[in-house]
């Protein structure tokens, strides 16, 4: 009995470890000692190259932390990946498109593989309806790249104008981006197993969203401007992200906060989440991204309609839109193609169709749109400014078909989880994602929202930004893991119970 009690005490003392990695006390001690020795030995490297030395030290510390407490890996990624995009590994070359978020994602993949291998069980291939078309897109992308090497267009220069980065390296980066998409579907539901894990991710989204939204709102006093101007208004740039990408990111935070607010029970919690929703919505407005404005309106409309199932919710767009031109008459000018740019998108879309026609069967190669645009484009933009046309040009009709299937399966899975969730937290997250998904789907006609391409600023930067959407989807897919736990800890309060509480 005495020995059993001692074992129980030891298990309670180290109860914070088993969920992440089963380690004995000796293994823990050895791990920490080795990490300390390596960290101290790097002081010499720091004296030679401060940035490189500190980066290695931070990487080692993160490896130890993630191995011990892997439930913090995804929240830490959310907190660090986006804001650190202003710090590239180099000022030129391929390393100028390498960020801390890329390294963190590789680290998360490595930890996930170690845990799956150490568990002595097969990898759980759940969510196959989304996973299979994503795998098909990666395979189609590989085939299109191989075909572009076997049958190159002699008129096209497969190289950057001001860089000597080899094409094979660009293609390798593109394949990494495509292969990473199915990993989101595998990794996140595996690592988010409890309600606590889900709440850590939600908290990370709310925390990282504040500097993005507040920075966008107060870009003027803070002088956080980009080089983009619309109707004489200089657009903000926060952590290296500007224009519509910044707006659609704030839409994510706004939808997530709104979904939480609609299911919150405490008045103080509803007030705080309502304030956050207003801040994030203000960030969307001040980003001056027209598709993000419309996307937010669509997302909020869908969230309110699904939450209350009230026909009056269908009138919300008209209730909001009709007074706006009267209060802010200049807002109409933002959608007037004779006064602001935007009509050029039609020419860019025509260029994308023309590029696809040069290789209609297998496409010009995943990530190669930028090279063909320089040769055949009349309004050279480097990207198609349309996810559907971009995938069509790079991977052909079969790539577009897989993209449409992925989008359909994502929407179907999110709606299914919303209907099947039994806890308020599960309902709130799935409802928030449905609203954001609707906004994202609208933005897909103007930018890359689901499938990354190296044609967009080297690829890895937009991939990090896009990863926030895929992590959000992974959080929705993890709901069955902790939904029952959430329902037991926080059962829904019915209207009669609230009346009883008030009467008492």
- The 10s digit of each residue's pLDDT in 430-480 is 999 999 999 999 999 998 999 988 877 656 888 899 999 999 999 999 999
383/455 Cα distance (integer angstroms)? 6
Say what the pLDDT of residue 38 is.
60
Backbone angles phi, psi at 216, to 5 degrees: -70, -45
Nearest to 303 by CA among 264, 343, 256: 256
263 pLDDT higher than 70:
yes
Question: Region 468-496: what's the mean pLDDT?
Answer: 84
3-state secondary structure 21-70: CCCCHHHHHHHHHHHHHHHHHCHHHHHHCHHHHHHHHHHHHHHHHHHHCH
Backbone angles phi, psi at 129, to 5 degrees: -60, -30
Torsion of CA 101, 107, 113, 115, to 10 degrees: -120
297/321 Cα distance (integer angstroms)? 9
66 pLDDT higher than 70:
no
98/162 Cα distance (integer angstroms)? 18
Who wins on pLDDT, 451 or 494? 451
Say what the pLDDT of residue 500 is.
45
Q: What is the largest CA-CA distance in the chain?
A: 84
Residue 225: count of CB within 10 angstroms of its CB: 15
Among 29-43, 199-213, 388-402, where is mean pLDDT lowest? Answer: 29-43
Say what the pLDDT of residue 456 is.
77
Say what the pLDDT of residue 119 is.
67
132 pLDDT higher than 70:
yes
Alpha carbon of 346 to those of 289, 446, 448: distances in Å? Answer: 18, 10, 16
Who wins on pLDDT, 369 or 39? 369
Q: What is the pTM of this model?
A: 0.85
Say what the pLDDT of residue 329 is.
73
pLDDT digits (tens, 9 = 90+) for 110-126: 778 777 766 656 666 67
Which 3 state secondary structure label does DSSP give 99?
strand
Say what the pLDDT of residue 356 is.
95
Is the distance from CB of 406 to CB of 450 less than 8 angstroms? yes
Q: Which residues pair with 238 in a beta bridge?
A: 241
Cβ contacts of 405 within 8 Å, gap of 6 or more: 133
DSSP class of residue 192? Answer: -
157/165 Cα distance (integer angstroms)? 13
Cβ contacts of 220 within 8 Å, gap of 6 or more: none
Is the distance from CB of 268 to CB of 291 less than 8 angstroms? no
Is the distance from CB of 368 to CB of 153 less than 8 angstroms? no
Alpha carbon of 102 to those of 34, 78, 495: distances in Å? Answer: 25, 12, 47
Is the distance from CB of 408 to CB of 134 less than 8 angstroms? no
Alpha carbon of 211 to those of 220, 336, 465: distances in Å? Answer: 14, 31, 15
Cβ contacts of 130 within 8 Å, gap of 6 or more: 185, 406, 409, 410, 413, 477
CA 101-131-168 angle, 5° bins:
55
pLDDT digits (tens, 9 = 90+) for 307-354: 988 777 777 767 777 777 777 777 777 777 777 777 788 889 999 999
Tokens of 203: 């908290």
406/410 Cα distance (integer angstroms)? 6
The DSSP code sequence of 409-423 is HHHHHHHHHHHH--S
Among 106-115, 126-135, 465-474, 484-493, where is mean pLDDT lowest? Answer: 484-493
Nearest to 469 by CA among 417, 407, 421: 407
Nearest to 261 by CA among 319, 198, 197, 206: 206
Give the CA count within 13 Å in the CB-facing half-sphere of 15.
5
Residue 142: count of CB within 10 angstroms of its CB: 18
433/285 Cα distance (integer angstroms)? 20
């Amino acid at each position: 009995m005495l020995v059993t009690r001692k074992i129980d005490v030891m298990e309670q003392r180290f109860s914070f470890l088993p969920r992440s990695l089963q380690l004995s006390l000796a293994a823990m001690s050895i791990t920490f000692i080795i990490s300390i020795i390596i960290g101290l030995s790097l002081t010499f490297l720091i004296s030679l190259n401060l940035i490189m030395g500190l980066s290695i030290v931070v990487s080692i510390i993160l490896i130890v932390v993630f191995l011990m407490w892997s439930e913090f890996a995804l929240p830490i990624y959310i907190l660090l990946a986006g804001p650190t995009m202003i710090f590239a590994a180099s000022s030129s070359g391929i390393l100028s498109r390498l960020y801390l978020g890329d390294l963190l994602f590789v680290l998360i993949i490595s930890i996930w593989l170690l845990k799956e291998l150490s568990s002595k069980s097969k990898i759980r291939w759940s969510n196959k309806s989304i996973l299979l078309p994503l795998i098909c897109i990666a395979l189609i992308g590989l085939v299109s790249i191989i075909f572009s090497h076997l049958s190159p267009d002699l008129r096209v220069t497969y190289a950057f104008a001001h860089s000597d980065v080899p094409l094979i390296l660009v293609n390798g980066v593109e394949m990494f981006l495509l292969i990473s998409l199915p990993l989101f579907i595998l990794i996140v539901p595996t690592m988010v197993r409890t309600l606590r894990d889900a709440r850590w991710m939600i908290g990370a989204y709310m925390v990282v969203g504040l500097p993005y939204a507040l920075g966008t709102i107060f870009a003027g006093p803070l002088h956080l401007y980009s080089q983009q101007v619309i109707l004489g208004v200089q657009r903000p740039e926060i952590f290296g992200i500007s224009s519509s990408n910044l707006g659609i990111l704030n839409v994510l935070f706004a939808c997530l906060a709104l979904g939480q607010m609609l299911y919150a029970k405490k008045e103080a919690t509803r007030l705080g989440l309502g304030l956050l929703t207003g801040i994030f919505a203000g960030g969307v407005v001040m980003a001056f991204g027209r598709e993000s404005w419309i996307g937010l309106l669509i997302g909020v409309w869908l969230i309110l309609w699904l939450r209350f199932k009230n026909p009056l919710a269908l009138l919300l767009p008209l209730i909001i839109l009709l007074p706006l031109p009267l209060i802010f008459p200049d807002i109409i000018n933002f959608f007037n193609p004779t006064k602001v740019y935007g009509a050029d998108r039609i020419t860019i879309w025509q260029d994308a169709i023309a590029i696809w026609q040069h290789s209609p069967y297998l496409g010009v190669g995943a990530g190669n749109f930028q090279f063909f645009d320089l040769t055949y484009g009349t309004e050279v933009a480097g990207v198609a400014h349309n996810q559907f046309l971009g995938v069509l040009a790079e991977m052909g009709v079969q790539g577009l078909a897989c993209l449409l299937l992925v989008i359909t399966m994502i929407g179907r899975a999110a709606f299914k989880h919303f209907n099947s969730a039994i806890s308020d937290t599960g309902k709130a997250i799935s409802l928030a994602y449905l609203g954001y998904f609707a906004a994202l789907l609208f933005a897909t006609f103007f930018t890359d929202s689901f499938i990354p391409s190296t044609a967009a600023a080297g690829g890895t930067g937009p991939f990090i930004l896009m990863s926030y959407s895929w992590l959000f989807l992974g959080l929705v897919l993890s709901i069955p893991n902790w939904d029952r736990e959430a329902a037991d800890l926080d059962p829904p309060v019915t209207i009669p119970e609230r009346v009883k509480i008030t009467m008492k």
